[in-house]
Amino acid sequence: MPSVTFVEFSGAKHVVDVPVAENVMRGALYNDIPGIVGECGGGLACATCHCYVDEAWTDRVGPPSSPEERDMLESAAAEVKPTSRLSCQIEMSGGLEGLIVHLPEKQYD
């Protein structure tokens, strides 16, 4: 099972295993990672799973996967950066072993 490192805004790190084909948001929720809310359950109806993909991983993860994800990022409570993604839209694969995502300061305004 590939691992993901979640880096809280404070700098605290959490390394968790996330099953292949599961999304990064659910990996955070299943492991009680602070900083990911996932209010809509991954339905692209909120931005409470906003994260910043570590720059070392941006090419492998890629940009927002759909116009809907780009639109939803516009409503994120924290600053949207070039590495911003909704973690519900990042599907785990063996090629993402060791993925690092940084969490914003807040998910709500």
pLDDT tens track for 16-33:
999 999 999 999 999 999
94-107 pLDDT, tens digit per residue, is: 999 999 999 999 99
56-96 pLDDT, tens digit per residue, is: 999 999 999 899 999 999 999 999 999 999 999 999 999 99
Handedness of CA 87, 63, 6, 103 (dihedral sign): negative
CATH superfamily for 3-102 is Beta-grasp domain (3.10.20.30)
**β-strand pairing of 50-53 with 13-17:** unpaired
Tell me the domain boundaries of the chain: 3-102
36-62 pLDDT, tens digit per residue, is: 999 999 999 999 999 999 999 999 999
Task: Identify residue 16 by its one-letter amino acid code.
Answer: V
Q: What is the pLDDT of residue 109?
A: 81
Identify the DSSP state of 89: G
